[in-house]
Amino acid sequence: MALDGLLLHALCRQFQEILPCKINKIHQISNTELLFHLRTQREKKNLLISCHSQYNRINLTDRSYPTPEEPSHFVMLLRKHLEGGLILSVQQGGLDRWLVMEVSLRNEIGDKVFRKLYVELMGKYANVILVDEDNRILDALKRIPPFENTKRTIQPGAQFTLPEQAVKQDPFTAQTVDPQQPLHQQFDGFSPLLGREVEARMRRGETFPEIMAQIESSDTLFITNTPKETQFHLIPLTQYEQPAKAYPLMEGMDVLYYHKEEKDRIRQMTGDLFKFVRKQLKHYRQKLPKLLDAMQEALDCEKWREYGDLLYAYGQNIPKGTPAATLTTFDQSRQVTIDLDVRFDGRGNAKKCFQKYNKGKKGQEHLLEQIDLCEKEIEYFEGLEQQLELANFEDAREIHEELAALGYMKPIQSKIRRNRKKAKALPAITAIRLANGVTLYFGKNNLQNEALTFKLARKNDLWFHAKDFHGSHVVLDCEQPDEETLRLAAMVAAYYSKGRYSSSVPVNYCPIRNLKRVPGAKPGFVSLTSYKTIYIDPEEAVIDDLLKENA
């Protein structure tokens, strides 16, 4: 379900409680999301505005988000006109799905000016529009030129007009309803979902004003997970059998949307990476058979030496213009027919055969190098493909950094802002503290694996990796774990590998001191001098419980 006008009404009421507040900083954290860092009289707040076609919303959040160092043009404009200003008011347009923030600030010469920021949360038409005192558009997150919408142009310099609004009744003042017409067609702010809920409650004896009073006073978001989708509103949705879970309104909005939008941000980050990795895999998988065919031809070069020897020995009897010659081998065991170049005599053709032999012999060394390189590239990109399938936003960013460092891709233009301490820190290695006091670490990409194995782990720590599969490096910070801990670490290694859906996955394990970097190899590649193997069945439920306990 999308955000409706009554839910936005409750959110707007809570925004008004923190006013006035100062805008300290503005970031654009994705193509559709803006993050405002606010300062109230008592504390700091973060305001998130999302214009995602499915998850559009506005709410206060305590969550942290990666923020680009290089701002977009729109964010630079917002900073110029809004940063340092005071949000004086937040007003909703009736019970429609838009609101306007009025901001007061000083311009370059010290005069007080006012700006309005319109936030429209209308599904795929969601937008954020900055307007000046003359009601002219300064810019918008999504520009709409005249040829796309003749009634409402959204671009710099155009006169701002409000969205069209259907004429409906105010549900807070209405006393009666028309039973022949759906409620969302009669009243402002109603979604079809809320309309069905109110109708169901009225059939059980509640009156319309009583239900509206509950909605008006609610500062709670009730979330119901149905078999088809997650539904939510300001009152429990009794039309469903599943129980509703209650959250404070702003927290509930985060719970509802954060992970969905996190997945969307990951898709934005990994989309180009997946495309690049799969393009490379296709290239090398097509190249390898051609190299193998060329190698087979090169291995046949011995026949050209034999042909050259025979032609050199009997060449005086072969004049120019001869198309082929049938000669007996030196051991008299067989006869061979040799196609000749009619431009040369026997000795001349012998020279050409020796040239082909030498070329094939030298080509073998080059082809062996190329085949080895091609196989390693396939192995490397298969590993990246598996890592991207399990990557969160930070994991995907590190994979991009790795590819950029190796020269495969250009560096990310908008690198994630990190302070100096974080810039020197290790990659985002996952650490899980087990009940017995042992810490289990694992990496989810090559940079994390490399840092875990060769920087974080000690020489006596125990290292795990799925045998013959691309996957995570897993480390236990102990030398002799009990059987349960050993099997758990092996399960993590099996689960975070290409073998996660297999049974009896072999997992090699050994002390860190038994590992060596592979010379010239890419990050995360190691060789083992001595190890043991355990067979394990990956269980997703066990891994999920482990991660939840340490969330």
Check whether residue 204 and residue 294 sit in a common domain.
no
Neighbours of 44 (CB within 10 A): 11
Residue-range definition of the domain harbouring residue 472:
426-549
Residues in the chain: 551
> What are the residues whose beta carbons fall under 8 Å from the beta carbon of 125, sequence distance 6 or more?
163
Number of domains in the chain: 4
Q: What distance in Å separates the CA atoms of residue 475 and residue 247, rounded to the nearest whole number?
A: 38
CATH code of the domain containing 103: 2.30.310.10
What confidence score (pLDDT) does residue 365 get?
A: 83
Check whether residue 14 and residue 124 sit in a common domain.
yes
Check whether residue 240 and residue 285 sit in a common domain.
no
| Closest CA relative to residue 371, chosen from 295, 299, 298, 301 | 295
**Across residues 476-491, what is the average pLDDT?**
93
Neighbours of 218 (CB within 10 A): 18
Check whether residue 344 and residue 435 sit in a common domain.
no
What confidence score (pLDDT) does residue 305 get?
A: 87
Task: Encode burial over 322-359: b for 16+ CB neighbours within 10 A, e otherwise.
Answer: beebebeeeeeeeeeebebeeebbbeebbebbbebbee
- 450 falls within a domain: yes
- 25 falls within a domain: yes
> Which of 79-93, 168-182, 379-393, 421-435 is predicted with the least confidence, judged by mean pLDDT?
421-435
Predicted confidence band of residue 115 (pLDDT cuts 50, 70, 90): very high
Identity at 39, one-letter amino acid code: R
pLDDT at 418 over 70: no
Q: What distance in Å separates the CA atoms of residue 450 and residue 473, rounded to the nearest whole number?
A: 8
pLDDT at 421 over 70: no
What confidence score (pLDDT) does residue 53 get?
A: 87
- 365 falls within a domain: yes
Over the stretch 132-153, which tens digit does the pLDDT of each residue have? 999 999 999 999 988 887 788 9
Q: Is the CB of residue 71 less than 8 Å from the CB of residue 27?
A: yes
Predicted confidence band of residue 1 (pLDDT cuts 50, 70, 90): low
Check whether residue 318 and residue 379 sit in a common domain.
yes
Q: What distance in Å separates the CA atoms of residue 439 and residue 431, rounded to the nearest whole number?
A: 7
Report the run of H or E that residue 431 belongs to, with start and end: strand 430-433
Check whether residue 365 and residue 472 sit in a common domain.
no
Q: What is the share, in percent, of the chain residues with pLDDT greater than 70?
A: 97
CATH code of the domain containing 317: 1.10.287
What confidence score (pLDDT) does residue 113 get?
A: 93
What confidence score (pLDDT) does residue 42 get?
A: 86
Check whether residue 9 and residue 133 sit in a common domain.
yes
Choosing from 76, 110, 140, the residue where a domain stops is: 140
Neighbours of 301 (CB within 10 A): 18
What confidence score (pLDDT) does residue 551 get?
A: 59
What confidence score (pLDDT) does residue 84 get?
A: 94
Over the stretch 242-296, which tens digit does the pLDDT of each residue have? 989 999 999 999 888 887 777 777 777 788 889 999 999 999 999 999 999 988 8
Predicted confidence band of residue 413 (pLDDT cuts 50, 70, 90): low
Over the stretch 41-70, which tens digit does the pLDDT of each residue have? 889 999 999 998 888 999 999 888 877 778
Which pTM was predicted? 0.63
Predicted confidence band of residue 306 (pLDDT cuts 50, 70, 90): confident
Predicted confidence band of residue 176 (pLDDT cuts 50, 70, 90): confident
- 86 falls within a domain: yes
Q: What distance in Å separates the CA atoms of residue 115 and residue 128, rounded to the nearest whole number?
A: 13
CA distance between the termini of the chain: 28
Q: What is the mean pLDDT of the chain?
A: 89
Check whether residue 96 and residue 209 sit in a common domain.
no
What confidence score (pLDDT) does residue 260 get?
A: 75
Q: What distance in Å separates the CA atoms of residue 145 and residue 350, rounded to the nearest whole number?
A: 75
**Across residues 460-489, what is the average pLDDT?**
93
What confidence score (pLDDT) does residue 15 get?
A: 94
> Per the structure block, which two tokens stand in for 401?
């950094």
122 or 148: which leads in pLDDT: 122
pLDDT at 71 over 90: no
Check whether residue 39 and residue 121 sit in a common domain.
yes
What confidence score (pLDDT) does residue 420 get?
A: 42
> Per the structure block, which two tokens stand in for 306?
């034999």
**Across residues 449-462, what is the average pLDDT?**
94
- 33 falls within a domain: yes
Cα 475 vs. chain centroid, distance in angstroms? 25
Check whether residue 297 and residue 378 sit in a common domain.
yes
Check whether residue 234 and residue 308 sit in a common domain.
no
pLDDT at 423 over 60: no
Identity at 282, one-letter amino acid code: K
Check whether residue 126 and residue 10 sit in a common domain.
yes
